Amino acid sequence: MSHASQTARESSGTERGQPDDSGLIAESCRVPERFGAVFDRHAAAIHGYISRRLGRDAADDLVAETFLVAFRQRGGYDQDQPSARPWLYGIATRLISRRRREEVRFFRAIARTGIDPVADPVAEPVADESVRRADARTLHRRLAGALAGLSTADRDALLLIADGLSYQEAARALGVPAGTLSSRVARARRKLREGLGGVNPADEIGAWHG
Amino acid sequence: MDEMTLLEEFRAVVAPPDDVTLVRARARMLDGGAPARRGRAGRGAPGLRPPGRRGKLALTGLAAAASVAAVTVTLAAPGSGPSRQGAASPAVRELAYRAAAAAAAQPGVRPGQWVYWQEKAYSSPDSGPAPNETFEVWTTADATNAAYLSKGKVVFIPCGNCQFIGQPVIVHAENGDQISGMSGKATVSYAGLSSLPRDPVALDRHLAGLPLRGWGPAPVREFEVIKELLTTYVMPPALTAELFRALGNIPGVTADRNAIDVAGRHGIGFRIALPSDAGGGFDELILDPKTFGLMGEQLTLGRAAGAKAGQVVSGTAILKTALVSGPGILP
């Protein structure tokens, strides 16, 4: 299961008869501790999103900040929105935007060194899995370099989609019309392709290794 | 593979957050906020009302308590009740959240993992003949197996299809080894732990509704179930943390910074008053004041039960516990 679809499934508040996010948020206005359930549903995904963009230490800080802001502002939550994902991702993205230089440095460091500080340590690969692992690292270096070259707005749009938000959700998170969001994603993808060499780099490597 | 698939892979390799980070962030969120009044949503940022139309946030005991929790923790005097009728005090909740954070940092164990226990069991003379000794016993994390050492040899304690509640008490007497303690069916089986609600309010409600051998209003029943689970199983760290948070939400639970366990050690005691028609007094879980590790449990009955008021009737002090590779193995 891809990360995106797993994230979408885990955020479904209606599974197992549980109230959706809007219901929990409404209850939390009377019983604050109910907001903890919103945290439990979304904190891991938000932490991963921030971690991908700024590193783990920043994610540890900003995930707390994201939910603290959300908790304090829960009285104004739009009850017509059953899922709090766009709202939470929007808060996290605004917090990340205050550290845009740090984000660019983070991606450039990955591109330069090939070391991804937030990647899960992998077991020693065996046989040709080690070749595929090396290929992925090479691609990720080039990808990180390309991400560093995007504008903040384009990078925000693209990385929200990569985190599994729909175009509608990402537009809501950023507070922009859906058309604007689509344009930013299309432009970002085009620049990524250019930064990755103008052709599908995976096809290149795939051909090399047969 | 196109650039979006590559990007999703780049996102998917990110290691998940550790439990301690999430527990701390969660506690900070709930301690740092304040109850909010609901208002109509408008345009603007998703889920928020437009600028200039923010509602006023009313300060309540929670917000006031957040400032207390940020500076120091003021504990209730021994025997005093909660600061608000029907709710555990913010100080109790703060301690419970600290215990949850400590619990979340523990390593996960598999159900069959063997655990070494060095304990002291106590029973008052009024309770009848009982051992008051230090003993060693080994159990599995899921409490389905138990063993002890007798003259250097491992002896398994038969329990059939049941499980042990707490740890069996072992007494090495001249005329043979004596084993006492509870066995049977725990209120929640180890396999059933995974289906417990993860939401603290739902967990509180679920535990309070479980049948218990005995009596008492819902808060007492819930406290007893949590005590049973914490002293019987070695559970997944996240669940242990959740149970400590639930403990802090039980109405009527108080905390005593000067609790003393049956081994004479000082700790933090989480207490709940027992019904007067069952003897009164209180039941207590005692935690290490520095590590918030579980030190033990004890029952203190009131005058109505025929014991001297405030006298500990029975209890267990956990002197040492460790994960080991098998029964009879010392840490």
Could you tell me which residue, B165 or A104, shows the higher pLDDT?
A104
Local confidence band at B323 (pLDDT 50, 70, 90 cut-offs): very high
Listed in sequence order, the residues at least 6 apart from B177 whose beta carbon sits closer than 8 Å to its beta carbon are: B148, B150, B155, B170, B171
Average pLDDT over residues A157-173: 95
Put simply, the chain B residues between 197 and 216 with a CB less than 8 A from any chain A CB are 198-202
Using an 8 Å Cβ cutoff, are A33 and B204 in contact?
no
The answer to whether residue B84 neighbours chain A at the CB level (below 8 Å) is no
Positive or negative CA dihedral for A210, B3, B5, B9?
A: positive
The answer to whether residue A123 neighbours chain B at the CB level (below 8 Å) is no
Whether B22 and A158 lie within 8 Å, measured CB to CB: no
- pLDDT(B273) > 60: yes
- Picking from A75, A159, A193, the nearest residue to B39 by CB comes out as A75
Q: From residue A158, give the alpha-carbon distance in Å to each of A117, A168, B149.
A: 21, 13, 62
Which of A191-205, B3-17, B35-49 is predicted least confidently? B35-49
Q: Give B30→chain A minimum CA distance, Å.
A: 7
Which of A18-22, B54-58, B236-240 is predicted least confidently? B54-58
Dump pLDDT digits (tens) for B7-38: 988 988 898 888 778 888 988 898 765 445 55
Tell me if ipTM is over 0.90: no
Most confident of A72-76, B101-105, B297-301: A72-76
Dump pLDDT digits (tens) for B232-254: 999 988 889 889 988 988 889 99
The answer to whether residue A196 neighbours chain B at the CB level (below 8 Å) is yes
CA atoms within 13 A of residue B31's CA, in its CB half-sphere: 26
Dump pLDDT digits (tens) for B74-132: 233 333 333 323 456 777 887 888 888 888 888 888 999 999 999 998 887 665 545 56
Q: Give A55→chain B minimum CA distance, Å.
A: 9
- pLDDT(A159) > 90: yes
Nearest residue on chain A to B1, judged by CA atoms? Answer: A202
The answer to whether residue B59 neighbours chain A at the CB level (below 8 Å) is no
Nearest residue on chain B to A22, judged by CA atoms? Answer: B47
Using an 8 Å Cβ cutoff, are A71 and B34 in contact?
no
- Picking from B11, B25, B47, the nearest residue to A162 by CB comes out as B11
Dump pLDDT digits (tens) for A108-149: 999 988 889 998 775 434 445 555 666 777 888 999 999 999
Local confidence band at B207 (pLDDT 50, 70, 90 cut-offs): confident
Residue B47 is encoded by which pair of tokens?
């889920």
Cβ neighbours of B4 in A, within 8 Å: 161-162, 189
What pLDDT, on a 0 to 100 scale, did the predictor assign at position B139?
94
Cβ neighbours of A159 in B, within 8 Å: 7, 11
Local confidence band at B278 (pLDDT 50, 70, 90 cut-offs): low
The CA angle B250-A47-B248, to the nearest 5 degrees, is 10
Whether A33 and B200 lie within 8 Å, measured CB to CB: yes
Question: B17 phi and psi, to 5 degrees?
Answer: -70, 155
Local confidence band at B58 (pLDDT 50, 70, 90 cut-offs): very low
Average pLDDT over residues A17-46: 88
What pLDDT, on a 0 to 100 scale, did the predictor assign at position A10?
41
What percent of chain B is modeled with pLDDT above 70? 74
Query: What mean pLDDT is reported for chain A?
Result: 83
A31, A50, A52, best to mutate vs chain B, most B CBs in 10 Å = A52
The answer to whether residue A23 neighbours chain B at the CB level (below 8 Å) is no
- Picking from A31, A60, A159, the nearest residue to B21 by CB comes out as A60
